[in-house]
Amino acid sequence: MEKKEFNITVYTENQIGLLNRIAIIFTRRKINIDSLNTSPSEIHGIHRFNIVIDETEDVVRKLCRQIEKQVEVLKVYYHTNEDVIWQEMALYKVPADIIAEKASVERLLRENGARAVVIRKDYIVFETTGHREETDNLIKVLQPFGLIEFVRSARVAIIKDSEGFNSKLREFEKEQPGEEVIENEYLNQGQKVFTM
Amino acid sequence: MNETAFAQQETATAAEEKPTVELTGSAALLEALIAEGVDTIFGYPGGAIMPVYDALFDYKDKLNHILVRHEQGGIHAGQGYARTSGKVGVVFATSGPGATNLVTGLADAQIDSTPLVCITGQVFAHLLGTDAFQETDVINITTPITKWNYQVTDANEIPEAIAKAFYIAKSGRPGPVLIDITKNAQVQKFEYKGYTPCNHIRSYRPKPIVRQQYIQEAAELINNAKQPFILWGQGVILGSAENEFKAFVEKSGIPAAWTIMGAGAIPSDHPQNVGMLGMHGNYGPNVLTNECDVLIAIGMRFDDRVTGRLDKYAKQAKVIHLDIDPAEIDKNVQTTVPVWGDCKETLPLLTAAVEQKQHTEWLARFNDYTRQEEEAVINNELHPQEGEMTMGEVIDTLNQLTNGDAVIVTDVGQHQMVACRYAKLNKTRSNVTSGGLGTMGFALPAAIGAKFGAQDRTVVAVIGDGGVQMTIQELGTIMQSGIDVKIMILNNQFLGMVRQWQELFNSRRYSFVDIQSPDFVKVAEGYGIPGRSISDRSDLKEALEQMLNNPGSFLLEVMVTKENNVFPMVPQGCSVSEIRLK
């Protein structure tokens, strides 16, 4: 089975130590996490992890089952890049004088979909959002102008075809009995649905 | 402290209606344990858990605390208790080295799905992360080897944390839970509103919902099968589904074999019980795994010691897997029909849907293999006519004397495989062994716990000369608690299982397996435990009788043949059908 990028979405309780518990599932199998983002979800007290790894689907499915087994994990989904809309944000710090002298800033920003977020005497910080190749591209452009610092965020992804987990999260929020939630209902349907 | 008055207060349903009483965190912890029905705790005090031990002084009449000699002994005792009683084992340890000494037992309990609640003391909350005296990051150390863990830094959290701990430890697929309580939380006084057991956590689904569709698909496969084969594991015992399992086996008429963790769920001499699976399992079940047409795995996880080489494992068979843990489905062996759920619920549904049958010819094939194995291995092992004693004949004699009613606790090594192969087990929860982690040093402390968990039963610890020396200090626990444990050391003067592998696969290069032992009888005598050592076959039966009839604990050392091997054997990297008889 061929390896490819998978986006794993994990809904969890907001619990100290859970990040470690989830990360251990990858590290004990010697799987490198390419990108990990964790943030509050739309529901208070429930967090959402976006994890990107390069693996075969078989391994990803098993990983997701192990993650979902953790007590404080509500639900886990995995998707290929084609199944999600995803973005990464990048910041670029460049010397203000060189940029002002040598670059056509307006053109540079327009061509790369970037915007200046801070303009100081000594440096300017640009921001761009997009796929990896897009944010990488601006590095190449800015490098000749003395790029001082660069940082890129972890990936955030949203599922294309799913109706979303919002309604189910609201059920969880109401703490309705577990019996009303059919667990793992998609576990064996493989590609047909965007879940384990 | 007015816990007595508190205990008399009625339990109210809503927390706000409950009367409150001021308690320390430590007292609240003990109240919670009592409310959970805990009667026995295994533990070892230390600086960071002293407030709990101070509170325990007032609860001596309600909580029986067993002072072990090492925290590893404490947790193995907790495991033994849980395995025989079906209840949650409770263990106390202090911070730092006390907590890290629990690690082996936690890993063992995690892999063998043993319900435990371990309480560790921790340094004051304001000292966390400062490398304070006896501080370790026990939460992070134990994360991969616990089902759940939690650090309490405020006494107000204690009742809820303990309630969640017990619920998580015993529900679904059981496992060990660790609660780390800082010293300030132990001494802090707070308004205790009583104890409310936990029965729901919104992010925790202990068992999947049973789906009728899969039951029907599984039943259809079983009804159409010519050579179906059942493999069962500890899930049957953990789910208290022995009767449901027996009903399924008997109605379907299918031969059934067991993993060592599942041993005893149905009696050893049940006509459809065709023996033990795996590396040192029986000949028939291993070979015929690769000939059956439908494989029905019940509460077992296809461990590599059971499957041997996976790419050659039961490739011809359609696989039905009944398991409470969805993560086990397809983990090692690809399943045709997954039957998620508690086998206590799924087995009766499946039994109702399968046709009553007898697979007489198919069963006879297992019996043919048994006859071959008897000729090649079993007769020589159980009934040798000359030479030194074998481990097998010791177990066989024990069977005759206990009639299969004893709890057999084994350590790890050759004696473990021999005991699991030959011990007669009439009752469930009779086989306590370290199946997944293979922890040497397990048996002596586990037997102590097993006896507390099954006080009306005879408990025999079968231990090798290597393993007993790993936790031999627990003889002190036996001495102090006055518990009745029969300790049988099968001494072959070697680390036998490693030696066997060195003989078979390393050209007899016996690298550091020639282990010397102390005079075990004198060591036991030092602890006030009577003992005896025998090396002559003619003494065996009478010595075993002496051990079993002794009113308290007794240590019997049996000198057995040095270079005896456990066969059959599936060599590592081979398929189960390549099992060797010699």
Structure tokens at B582: 């010699």
- Interface-testing mutation among B157, B173, B202, B336, with chain A (most A C-beta atoms within 10 A): B202
Q: How confident is the model over A138-152, as a mean pLDDT?
A: 92
Closest chain A residue to B204 measured between Cα atoms? A71
Please check the confidence at residue B380 and state whether its pLDDT lies above 90: yes
CB-based burial of residue B430 (10 Å sphere; 0-12 exposed, 13-18 middle, 19+ buried)? buried
Please check the confidence at residue A193 and state whether its pLDDT lies above 60: no
Please check the confidence at residue B192 and state whether its pLDDT lies above 80: yes
Structure tokens at B59: 């609860």
Q: Among the listed ranges A23-37, A132-146, B258-272, which one has the minimum average pLDDT value?
A: A132-146
B-chain residues within 8 Å CB-CB of A69? 325-327
Asked if B71 is an active-site residue, the reply is yes
In the set B497, B502, B520, B567, the catalytic residue is: B497
| CA pair distance A17, A15, nearest whole angstrom | 6
- For residue B169, the distance in angstroms to the closest alpha carbon of chain A comes to 11
More confident residue, B401 or B6: B401
Express each pLDDT in B153-181 by its tens digit.
Answer: 999 999 999 999 999 999 999 999 999 99
Write down the H helix ranges in B122-241: 138-142, 158-170, 183-187, 212-224, 235-238
Whether omega before B568 lies within 30 degrees of 0, making that bond cis, reads yes
Q: Cα A181 vs. chain centroid, distance in angstroms?
A: 26
Angle value at C-alpha B40, between B36 and B42, nearest 5 degrees: 120
Express each pLDDT in B10-22 by its tens digit.
Answer: 444 444 566 789 9
Angle value at C-alpha B51, between B46 and B56, nearest 5 degrees: 95
Q: What is the pLDDT of residue A65?
A: 94
Q: How confident is the model over B414-438, as a mean pLDDT?
A: 97
Express each pLDDT in B304-333 by its tens digit.
Answer: 999 999 999 999 999 999 999 999 999 999
Q: What is the pLDDT of residue A98?
A: 84
Express each pLDDT in B211-250 by its tens digit.
Answer: 999 999 999 999 999 999 999 999 999 999 999 999 999 9
Q: How confident is the model over B69-97, as a mean pLDDT?
A: 98
Express each pLDDT in B561-582 by its tens digit.
Answer: 999 999 999 998 899 999 999 8
Q: In what order do the strands lie in the sheet with A4-13?
A: A35-40, A46-55, A4-13, A73-80
Q: What is the pLDDT of residue A99?
A: 80
Residues A183, B205: C-beta atoms closer than 8 Å: yes
Asked if B134 is an active-site residue, the reply is yes
Q: How confident is the model at residue A190 (pLDDT cuts 50, 70, 90)?
A: very low
Sign, CA dihedral A42-A45-A50-A55, equals negative
Note whether A41 contacts B: Cβ–Cβ < 8 A: no
Residues A65, B327: C-beta atoms closer than 8 Å: yes
Q: What is the pLDDT of residue B7?
A: 42
Of the partner residues A21, A177, A182, the one whose CB lies closest to the CB of residue B200: A177
Question: What letter would DSSP give residue B377?
Answer: I
Express each pLDDT in B124-160 by its tens digit.
Answer: 999 999 999 999 999 999 999 999 999 999 999 999 9
Structure tokens at B290: 């690769």
Please check the confidence at residue B117 and state whether its pLDDT lies above 90: yes
DSSP A147-175: --EEEEPPPEEEESSS--SHHHHHHHHTT
What values do phi and psi take at B27, rounded to 5? -65, -40
Q: What b/e string do you get for A50-76 counting C-beta neighbours within 10 Å, with b at 16 or more?
A: bbbbebebeebbbbbbbbbbbbbbbbb
Residues B326, A69: C-beta atoms closer than 8 Å: yes
| CA pair distance B183, B153, nearest whole angstrom | 8
Note whether A29 contacts B: Cβ–Cβ < 8 A: no
**Which residue in B346, B216, B172, B213 sits closest to A187, CA to CA?**
B213
- For residue B209, the distance in angstroms to the closest alpha carbon of chain A comes to 7
**Token match 């599936």: residue?**
B570
What values do phi and psi take at B39, rounded to 5? -120, -20
More confident residue, A188 or B281: B281
Structure tokens at B194: 């009583």
Angle value at C-alpha B105, between B99 and B110, nearest 5 degrees: 110
ipTM over 0.95: no
More confident residue, A16 or B377: B377
Of the partner residues A20, A74, A188, the one whose CB lies closest to the CB of residue B338: A188
| CA pair distance A100, B132, nearest whole angstrom | 54
Q: How confident is the model over B32-59, as a mean pLDDT?
A: 98
Q: What is the pLDDT of residue A171?
A: 67
Structure tokens at B135: 């501080």
Q: What is the CA radius of gyration of chain B?
A: 25
Q: How confident is the model at residue B403 (pLDDT cuts 50, 70, 90)?
A: very high
B189 Cβ neighbours under 8 A, 6+ residues apart: B22, B23, B24, B155
| CA pair distance B86, B449, nearest whole angstrom | 12
Please check the confidence at residue B527 and state whether its pLDDT lies above 60: yes
**Token match 């990297």: residue?**
B573
Of the partner residues A16, A28, A71, the one whose CB lies closest to the CB of residue B201: A71
Closest chain B residue to A182 measured between Cα atoms? B209
Q: How many CB atoms lie within 10 A of CB A122?
A: 9
Q: How many CB atoms lie within 10 A of CB A148?
A: 14
In the set B36, B71, B242, B373, the catalytic residue is: B71
Q: What is the pLDDT of residue B251?
A: 98
Closest chain B residue to A176 measured between Cα atoms? B202
A-chain residues within 8 Å CB-CB of B200? 175, 177-178
- For residue A140, the distance in angstroms to the closest alpha carbon of chain B comes to 41
More confident residue, B543 or A164: B543
**Token match 């309604």: residue?**
A167
Q: Which residues pair with A156 in a beta bridge?
A: A87
Helix (H) or strand (E) holding A117: strand A115-119
Note whether A178 contacts B: Cβ–Cβ < 8 A: yes
Q: Which residues pair with B91 in a beta bridge?
A: B42, B118
| CA pair distance B256, B297, nearest whole angstrom | 10
CB-based burial of residue B264 (10 Å sphere; 0-12 exposed, 13-18 middle, 19+ buried)? buried
B289, B304, B576 from B312: Cα distances, Å: 10, 12, 8
Residues A24, B144: C-beta atoms closer than 8 Å: yes
Question: What letter would DSSP give residue B427?
Answer: S
Closest chain B residue to A69 measured between Cα atoms? B327
What values do phi and psi take at A52, rounded to 5? -115, 125
- For residue B193, the distance in angstroms to the closest alpha carbon of chain A comes to 22
Asked if B497 is an active-site residue, the reply is yes
Closest chain A residue to B137 measured between Cα atoms? A17
Q: Among the listed ranges A156-170, B292-306, B493-507, which one has the minimum average pLDDT value?
A: A156-170
3-state secondary structure string, B547-561? Answer: HHHCCCCEEEEEECC
User: Does the pTM exceed 0.90?
Assistant: yes
Structure tokens at B33: 């344990």
| CA pair distance A53, A32, nearest whole angstrom | 7
Q: What is the pLDDT of residue A174?
A: 60
Asked if B234 is an active-site residue, the reply is no
Of the partner residues B149, B205, B338, the one whose CB lies closest to the CB of residue A178: B205
Asked if B361 is an active-site residue, the reply is no
Interhelix angle B414-422/B496-505, nearest 10 degrees: 100
**Token match 């402290």: residue?**
B1
